[in-house]
Amino acid sequence: MDRAPSAVRPYLRLARYDRPIGFWLLGLPCWMGLMLARTGEGLGWTDLWYAVIFAIGAIAMRGAGCTYNDIVDRDLDAQVARTADRPLAAGTVSLRQAWIFLTGQALVGLLVLIQLPLLAIGVGLAALVLVAAYPFMKRITWWPQAWLGLTFNWGIPVAFTAAAGAIEPAMIALYAAAIFWTLGYDTIYAHQDVEDDALVGVKSTARLFGESTPYWVAGFYGANALLVALAIWLSGASPWVVLPFTAYTAHLFNQVRKLDVEDGARCLALFKANRTSGLLLVATLALGALI
């Protein structure tokens, strides 16, 4: 980003290109849904094509989501130390420019979506309701992380229906598992802002749980592990997937072991570690597809 033209940098920051972890956390569920749909069938060139366009769509829609979130939250962002220098809050991008940028990114996402079968297109469009409501959740509920879980993991049903052409119990179990995953990692993330959030009246599970957060995160990750196991069982995957699945589960609970809610830097590092968690789960489901 520092080497990008100065006129472009505020837009890259608006879409969070300086924080690529969000692209991973939006894209990985798509790959999870795709791998689950192919359990026992093997992978082909169509799946590679889907994997690529889902990655493009994740980048476009995460950027669009962050832009929309900053449009809605621009006044709140100006009052929080960590977000005060965001382009809209700092005035380096105008509101009109932000809306134009948002529209451009959304069009890229739409171009990706129309490459999919009709059922998957319908499922994908349903996510717009979740996306539109998300920025307001921290104003009305202590559980905005749950809404983020519903939103950020919508790639699972989109990818699954694109590949399988149907909605199946294994997909529902995996989607539910991913919601608990997001509840865990985003609660960890939110602990960076608990003091500022309290000052401006923003709600979060981090503020709700306080010092009890490690127990809650352990519970969320435990629920995730059980539901992932259920999804694998329902899909009829090979027993060999237990090996990468064990590594995935161990990685999650290692986060709980290391968690210190008073250490913002550690919370951020543990949050980012969920890229590895997601890749381990993708590997688990990919093994189920291949054998």
Percentage of the chain beyond pLDDT 90 is: 87
Per-residue pLDDT tens over the stretch 234-245: 999 999 999 999
Reported as half-sphere exposure (CB side, CA atoms, 13 A), residue 16 has a value of 22
Domain presence at residue 2: no
Domain presence at residue 4: no
Domain presence at residue 215: yes
Domain presence at residue 1: no
Rounded to an integer, the average pLDDT of 49-76 is 94
Per-residue pLDDT tens over the stretch 88-122: 988 899 999 999 999 999 999 999 999 999 999 99
CA 55, distance to chain mean position in Å, is 12
How far apart, in Å, are the Cα atoms of 30 and each of 57, 91, 158, 171, 282? 10, 34, 7, 11, 9
How far apart, in Å, are the Cα atoms of 50 and each of 45, 53, 150? 9, 5, 22
The pLDDT of residue 62: 96
Indicate whether 201 pLDDT > 90: no
Domain presence at residue 3: no
Rounded to an integer, the average pLDDT of 6-19 is 91
The CATH number assigned to the domain holding 97 equals 1.10.357.140
Total domains present in the chain: 1
The pLDDT of residue 80: 75
6 Cβ contact list (under 8 Å, min separation 6): none
Ramachandran assignment for 94, one of left (phi > 0), alpha (psi -120 to 50 degrees), beta (any other): beta
Domain presence at residue 33: yes
Residue entry with tokens 């060139």:
45
C-alpha–C-alpha distance, residues 154 and 167, integer Å: 13
C-alpha–C-alpha distance, residues 278 and 27, integer Å: 10
Domain presence at residue 217: yes
Percentage of the chain beyond pLDDT 70 is: 100
| Domain encompassing residue 249 | 9-290
Per-residue pLDDT tens over the stretch 240-278: 999 999 999 999 999 999 999 999 999 999 999 999 999
Indicate whether 150 pLDDT > 80: yes
Domain presence at residue 91: yes
- Round the average pLDDT of the chain to a whole number and report it: 95
Helix axes 45-77, 95-113, angle to 10 degrees: 160
> Which tokens is 115 given?
């490459």
Indicate whether 82 pLDDT > 80: no
Instruction: Output the pTM of the full model.
Output: 0.94
